[in-house]
Amino acid sequence: MKEREAIRLMPPAEVANLEVALRKHPDDRDTRRKLLEYYSVSRGAQYAEGRRRHILWLVENHPESELLGQRGEIVPEARSLWLKAITGKSTSPETLVNAASYLMRTDNALAEELLLRAHAVRPEMNVSSKLGVLYAYAIVGADPVAAKKAKAKLSVSSDPIILRHAGYALNPPPRAKGDLHSEHRSLGLTYLERSIELDPQSWTTQEFVQMLKAAEARQIKYSLPFRESFDDAAKLPEPERLLWLAQVAQSAYLHGATDSRAEHFALARKCVDEVLRLAPTSTNDPNYSRAVLAANLISGLFAMHDGDRGRAVRHMQAATEVPPADYLAQYSEFAAHRLAAWLLKDGERQTVIAFLERLAAMPHAPKTSISEAIEDIRKGFKPRWYPV
């Protein structure tokens, strides 16, 4: 969104003013959020030091903060502060989860204990995704005993979320073309396949596994940050090409929104343009609806970046002018919500409501949550996915 870009491009004088204001009012969450966002872009030691300083202050003073939960960054000096924060029976579940996110790379056993404590205190707090990542870290870590224990727990787990996130964590984007056949990747694939067996409706996991297998079969890269991702699409048979391009486009856009690097946005634009170019002759592609939906949503986001609201509206309308497909409403949800929020901010309430109504009509759509969003918009409220 524009706010994040504006924060990351703040002039030094504005950053200095925010720092002064924060020293006077250290509990001002919004100001600290902006400074953390500003310092999150990799621009040298000065920025790393700024982010480190704010993280340490939060750990010492507000270890429960969701600002800490966004990233499990390794700040060496924070360990003693985290150990202090988790002492005592009254420690909040949020603090326990934040501490576990920090410690899971360096103290796997303690991190697992903290996650289980948090779940015991607040059973409705789902820590399964964190446990899956934690077990993956143990498997790839230097402690063979911890790796063995993690594998044993995953081998008997019946929690699809734990298995799914362990599989994802064991299959990060490859750093080299030969980095596709490791034991860890193969093991991660078995966890992903078991999670699908336990949760057959996990369509995103199914698509991820499909891409992994296509990448392995053809020795090509399946995700960012790699410029070859677009060229690799030409190596795929036509039934796989649209989905590949759509997935790369989504990943590229997310990377660009996170790090503001022009090459990531450029790759996303290139991929969605190619999807929309191929679409008229690819209507029989089993992934046609999902690919065209995603391409139009991301094209709509780029139209808003370019200041062309009319074009963004046309892309939002075209996104759902595709044949119905199972779970289509959940596909590319991040882009749908981001574009909808941006258009709502620009006053396009009816456009967004019509888009959401078409999504709700898709097979297996989450009708309740979509209806709640529509009702909120009609009443002049922000839907729950609207950025804070």
Q: What CATH number does the domain containing 291 carry? A: 1.25.40
Q: Residue 219: its pLDDT value, please? A: 57
Task: Give yes or no for a cis peptide into 286 (omega within 30° of 0).
Answer: no
Q: Is the pLDDT of residue 333 over 90?
A: no
Q: Give the angle 139-169-264 at the CA atoms, nearest 5°.
A: 145
Region 285-301 average pLDDT? 93
Tell whether 80 is covered by a domain: no
Q: Looking at 45-49, 97-101, 122-126, which range is the least confident one?
A: 45-49
Q: Angle of helix 128-140 relative to helix 108-121, nearest 10 degrees? A: 170
Smallest CA-to-CA distance from 36 within 75, 64, 11, 70 is with: 70
Smallest CA-to-CA distance from 315 within 331, 332, 336 is with: 336
Size of the chain in residues: 388
**How many domains is the chain built from?**
1
Q: Answer positive or negative: Cα dihedral of 220, 332, 205, 73.
A: positive
Largest CA distance in the chain: 63
Q: Residue 224: its pLDDT value, please? A: 46
Q: How far apart are CA 315 and CA 265, in angstroms?
A: 17
Number of C-beta neighbours around residue 225 at 10 A = 16
Greater confidence (142 vs 376) lies with 376
Q: How far apart are CA 318 and CA 299, in angstroms?
A: 11
CB 100 within 8 A of CB 115: yes
CB 336 within 8 A of CB 359: yes
Copy the structure tokens of residue 173: 């984007």
Tell whether 28 is covered by a domain: no
Tell whether 85 is covered by a domain: no
Tell whether 97 is covered by a domain: no
Number of C-beta neighbours around residue 226 at 10 A = 21
Tell whether 284 is covered by a domain: yes
Greater confidence (196 vs 41) lies with 196
Q: Is the pLDDT of residue 8 over 90?
A: no
Number of H helices, E strands in the chain: 21, 0
Copy the structure tokens of residue 345: 């901010």
Burial of 44 (0-12, 13-18, 19+ CB in 10 A): exposed
Q: Residue 47: its pLDDT value, please? A: 80
Region 36-63 average pLDDT? 85
Domain holding 281, by residue range, is 223-388
Q: Residue 366: its pLDDT value, please? A: 86
Q: Is the pLDDT of residue 330 over 90?
A: no
Q: Cα–Cα distances in Å, from 364 out to 199, 280, 327?
A: 14, 26, 5
Number of C-beta neighbours around residue 142 at 10 A = 6
Q: Residue 250: its pLDDT value, please? A: 86
Q: Residue 71: its pLDDT value, please? A: 56
Helix, strand or coil, per DSSP, at residue 366: coil
Q: How far apart are CA 206 and CA 196, in angstroms?
A: 7
pLDDT tier, 73 (very low <50, low <70, confident <90, very high otherwise): low
Q: Answer positive or negative: Cα dihedral of 223, 225, 231, 232.
A: negative
Tell whether 297 is covered by a domain: yes
CA contacts within 13 A on the Cβ side of 291: 28
Which residue has 């409501």 as its token pair?
353
3-state helix, strand, coil in the chain (%, to 5): 70, 0, 30
The answer to whether the predicted template modeling score (pTM) of the entire model surpasses 0.75 is no
Tell whether 384 is covered by a domain: yes
Q: Is the pLDDT of residue 313 over 90?
A: yes
Q: How far apart are CA 236 and CA 211, in angstroms?
A: 11
Greater confidence (159 vs 220) lies with 159
Copy the structure tokens of residue 274: 């190619």
Tell whether 122 is covered by a domain: no
CB 90 within 8 A of CB 118: no
Q: How confident is the prediction for the chain on average, in pLDDT?
A: 87
Write out pLDDT tens, residues 297-312: 999 999 999 999 999 9
CB 178 within 8 A of CB 144: no
CB 147 within 8 A of CB 141: yes
Q: Residue 80: its pLDDT value, please? A: 92
Copy the structure tokens of residue 1: 């969104």
Region 187-207 average pLDDT? 89
